[in-house]
Amino acid sequence: MNYLNNYITRIKEKGNNSLAEAVMNTSDKITPVYIKPFSHKNHEVSLLLGNVQSGKTSHMMGLICSAANEGFSIFILLTTDNTLLQQQTLARVKYDLPDFCICDETDEILFSTNNLRKPVIIVLKKNSSVLKKWRDNLSSSHCCEGNPLFIIDDEADAASLNTLVNKDNQQSTINRLLEEIKKTSSSSIFLQVTGTPQALLLQSHESGWHPYFTHYFPPGVGYIGGNILFLPDKPQYIILTDNEEACDLLKDDEIAENGLKQALLFHLVSSADIFLNGGCVSNFLIHPSMATEQHRRFSEKIAAYLNEISLSLEEKDFGLAFRTVYDDLLLTKPNLISFDKIIEKIVSILENAEVNILILNSKEIYTDSSKYERGINIIIGGNNLGRGITFPKLQTTYYCRVTKNPQADTMWQHSRMFGYDRELSLMRVFMPPILYKLFCDINSTNNSIIAQIEKKKPEDVNLRYPEKLRPTRRNVLDKNVIKTFTGGVDYFPFSLDNKSIEAIDEILSRFNGEIYTVNLNIFIEILENIISETDDWRPENFIGILQTMQSEKPGMQGKLIIRRERDIGKDTGTLLSPNDRSLGKSITDFPVLTMYKVTGNKGWNGRKIWIPNIRLPGTDDFYCI
């Protein structure tokens, strides 16, 4: 049986030929290089990277089918510790992969009686009791002793990593259990899957969780993501609210006009158009803080607004409140249904109480996603709104969650507005300017990560973020191996050597003045001839950072400052003269490389040597392993 061909055929039968082609392309690139030649001796970690809500599940299942064709027979599919998401994933796998034996968390007997007659997929939450039980099931069955495991960790950057990495070699429970599950077999492939790889790419190689290969698949046709919504030139689909509006709304009931009420009006108009055109669902997501009390208060606020609008149904000027909203939507959807019909439909929606308000948080958990798969819904929640849960036809978003120490991966996972089934012309995203800027910065860095992955090995990827925006949570990063370099700071090695001073002389021979604008490749050439004798300053880190800049802007330039015959002593704790320090500080938009050629008279064993000082642009932070 060819499992992959069967799966591809089922995708095509649904009329999605472009998805079938994309899944096949991912399989063609990964299977012959990493799955087919698998040694059956090692435990290997890999990364499948896709954009948030861009179809990663389909690519995961395609790789499961490819691996089954190559003889893998035991698959574990991990989801975050969320019952709704685990059940959504289980139902999807059962529907899409009928050739496999699909086991839920309680299907030990099914797993045992199947006895690998069919390849088995076990769908589990990353929950300690669930993982312990299946660790013991796999161990006691002895089926893994002669078979490799293929583990697919959906949202692998959540919960799987060791959160105690900086605490005297301790190991967090989920991380330890996943390692123990791997060790029930003689060998395994552990496929990390995520749209936010920051934490994974910054794992140390010694940890065993850094991917040894990474594959990125681009989104398909019709995908709405960061490159549409979060651009420096704000698109029509984004509506900026006041930075403090969310806080003010909860403090003061007398705010007459505000972004939340405006968002509700947009949702009613867009929902009316969708339903008049034959649609059956339209969702509106409100994402305040993680505090459940705020979710309740936002729910009450929305209910009050709906009641206020409903009480004005009989007034002659009822439609006036919607006119501005209608005209705004008309700019992006010229064929919007006529205003009179939209108002008539809104009246019907309100009279029949067809708007549902749903709270989704740690206290109110829906295991049945059908509650928001039909109808006109307003969903309010916090952390449960991220990490894999998909809301169909999410047309309106009110995002106001501001944190003091924002993390790029967490914020990006909250981008539930991304996806395929949204009607872009009717989409509106409400957020304060401070959050819009952060989302634009994260999108820019995500594009840089993807560009680097497409050109390099995953161990060579460097991350760049604005000051105060962290790539991920600190407790999963080994502080002994993560290096952070900040723009606007001078960095030079305290102890170094030149691989070939003659090579550096030749590179710099064409420059007889003092400061030049040069291609960054010249910086890289110079740094490749520098040897640092301590770990405080490694040329490899700065070469990687420069390559990161090139991936963002291929033609980016740097400023090269050259000083010859400098009589500087070794281990003096300083390098630049006051004038050169001021000169470098005055250049903020370019990386600056200052090269001093010292006479060697003071502590250099009489040897002349070139010493570099590098200053990165701006105030961004650069993260390296």
pTM of the model as a whole: 0.88
Q: Centre a 10 Å sphere on the Cβ of residue 414 and count the other Cβ atoms it contains.
A: 19
Predicted pLDDT at 493 = 86
| Domain segments of the chain as ranges | 3-216, 244-401, 482-624
User: What's the farthest any 2 CA atoms get from each other in the chain?
Assistant: 94
Phi, psi (5° rounding) for residue 132? -60, -45
Predicted pLDDT at 256 = 62
User: Do residues 87 and 106 lie in contact, with contact meaning Cβ atoms separated by under 8 Å?
Assistant: no
Packing angle, helices 259-276 and 292-311, rounded to 10? 70
Q: Strand 238-240 to strand 281-287: parallel, antiparallel, or no bridges (unpaired)?
A: unpaired
Predicted pLDDT at 142 = 85
Residue type, 501: I
CA–CA dist 242, 258 (Å, integer): 9
Q: Which long-range contacts (CB under 8 A, 24 or more apart) does 365-368 make?
A: 365/83, 365/84, 366/84, 367/83, 367/84, 367/87
CA–CA dist 381, 331 (Å, integer): 30
CA–CA dist 412, 409 (Å, integer): 5
Query: Which residues in the chain come in under a pLDDT of 50?
Result: none
pLDDT single digits (tens) 156-183: 998 899 999 999 889 999 999 999 999 9
User: Do residues 292 and 362 lie in contact, with contact meaning Cβ atoms separated by under 8 Å?
Assistant: yes
Phi, psi (5° rounding) for residue 243? -60, -30
pLDDT single digits (tens) 292-314: 888 888 899 999 999 999 988 88
Beta strand ranges found along 263-374 (DSSP E): 281-287, 355-360
Residue 469's DSSP bridge partners are none
Q: Centre a 10 Å sphere on the Cβ of residue 362 and count the other Cβ atoms it contains.
A: 12
| Residue 192 DSSP symbol | E
CA–CA dist 388, 365 (Å, integer): 15
Within the chain, how many helices (H) and strands (E) appear? 20, 23
Span 3-216: which CATH code? 3.40.50.300
User: Do residues 22 and 51 lie in contact, with contact meaning Cβ atoms separated by under 8 Å?
Assistant: no
User: For residue 193, how far is the Cα from the chain centroid?
Assistant: 11
Beta strand ranges found along 343-495 (DSSP E): 355-360, 375-381, 394-399, 428-431, 463-465, 483-486, 490-491
CA–CA dist 319, 39 (Å, integer): 69
| Residue 470 DSSP symbol | B
Residue 103's DSSP bridge partners are 122
User: Do residues 557 and 518 lie in contact, with contact meaning Cβ atoms separated by under 8 Å?
Assistant: yes
CA–CA dist 587, 573 (Å, integer): 23
Q: Centre a 10 Å sphere on the Cβ of residue 609 and count the other Cβ atoms it contains.
A: 19
Nearest to 481 by CA among 292, 223, 202: 202
Nearest to 89 by CA among 120, 58, 63, 51: 58
Q: Strand 621-624 to strand 483-486: parallel, antiparallel, or no bridges (unpaired)?
A: antiparallel
Q: Centre a 10 Å sphere on the Cβ of residue 7 and count the other Cβ atoms it contains.
A: 26
Q: Centre a 10 Å sphere on the Cβ of residue 281 and count the other Cβ atoms it contains.
A: 19
Run of H or E including 496: strand 496-498
**What is the total residue count of the chain?**
625
List, as one string, the DSSP characters of 84-143: HHHHHHHHHHHHH-TTSEEE-TT-HHHHHHHTTSS-EEEEEES-HHHHHHHHHHHHHH-T
Predicted pLDDT at 365 = 60
Predicted pLDDT at 392 = 92
CA–CA dist 613, 305 (Å, integer): 60
